[in-house]
Amino acid sequence: MKVGGERASAKEAAKSAQLRLGTFAPMIVRLLTALVSVLVLSARALAQAPPAPPQTPAAPASRLETEYKLAVPAGQDGEVWRWLTTRYAADKTGRLGAGWTSSLGDETFRDRYFDVPAATLLRARAGLRHRQRFDTTGQLTKQLVQLKLTDDAGGLLREEIKFKPVEGATDRLALPDLLRPADRAALDSILTTLGVRFAAVRPAFSLHQRRRRLYFQQDGEAFSTVTLDSSYAGDGRPATFTEIEIELNEKRYTGAAEPERARMRAVLDGIRADVLRQFPRLTQDQRPKYTKLAALLAADSGTATGGTRPTTAAPPATPPTTPPRAVPMAVAGAAVGLFVGWWWLWRRRRRRRRARV
């Protein structure tokens, strides 16, 4: 009798489970139907939505360079430097006002310029270079990849964009190998706006220069520099020029509000006027170094160089992208997860009921 009673109880439990399953079945069907509807609506919405804009690399921070360039006649550089270091010696900067100090520097720069065969950057009065700085002992102290863009007709204001080269960079590396992938993408994007293909950029020539410099500080912060810059062709060709650069500190000027910028420009104008009073034969020539040396090398080889800014080319069209499928896949995953979770709970409860029986 006991065995028969157990069998009867098992049958009743199974019948009860079937009844419960029958009760839950319509609910399960409705749940799955709702999830399928959500998937269909999501897919339609994404298909009708416009494609996502292409990912563009973040542009590196740029700075504004404001400087006067005064051409120095051949043979006069020694006289000019002696006067500058006497006139603006550390104990005589009081002529600029309270809180001013000065210091001296002497370095050698080696610049490798890059351009395309059509010299598009040269004609745009732009300059793309790998710069290395050396102290008086010949020790490399700093290097960078630099793009300079002329922002006004007079050439007084230029935009400067800097990239840090890869670790262990040398002057034998090609331009792409000097940069990290993110910086290559950013530079490529900028050059495209100038009508230049990054892949087509090649070395143009090398320019070396000795830079004797006066650094001016106001209240302990960098303010401006006056540099006697003697430049020459890096390959030994007879192409040289000397100039004075009277320049505001680019970092300070870029971050300043307009009233402070106006005050800084007034100080710059005062130093320029002071130099020209002493050396009236100096002439202002705002052409970039790249342009000046290119003109000298062209004259030496009998070729011509351009001097006008080319029309800016529009960036190439980006092909449309396919709609993202992340949302439908996520909804489908949620549906499967819900179903599997419900099924697991149902099986667990069923096993517990059987164990109690």
pLDDT digits 0-9 by tens, 194-244: 999 999 999 999 999 999 999 999 999 999 999 999 999 999 999 999 999
Of 197, 158, 189, 193, nearest to 312 (Cα)? 193
Q: Angle, to 10 degrees, between the axis of helix 258-278 and the axis of helix 77-87?
A: 120
Q: Which one is predicted more confidently, 271 or 336? A: 271
Of 221, 243, 309, 197, nearest to 72 (Cα)? 243
> What does the pLDDT look like over 296-353, one tens digit per residue?
999 988 765 543 333 333 333 333 333 444 444 554 555 555 555 555 555 656 655 5
CATH superfamily of 62-301: Hypothetical Protein Pfu-838710-001 (2.40.320.10)
User: Do 111 and 207 form a contact (C-beta atoms < 8 A)?
Assistant: yes
Boundaries of every domain in the chain: 2-49+325-356, 62-301
Coil, strand or helix at 303: coil
Inform me whether the pLDDT recorded for 356 exceeds 60: no
> What does the pLDDT look like over 3-36, one tens digit per residue?
455 555 555 655 555 545 455 555 555 656 655 5
Inform me whether the pLDDT recorded for 152 exceeds 70: yes
The pLDDT mean for the chain works out to: 81
Count of CA atoms in the C-beta half-sphere (13 A) of 305: 21
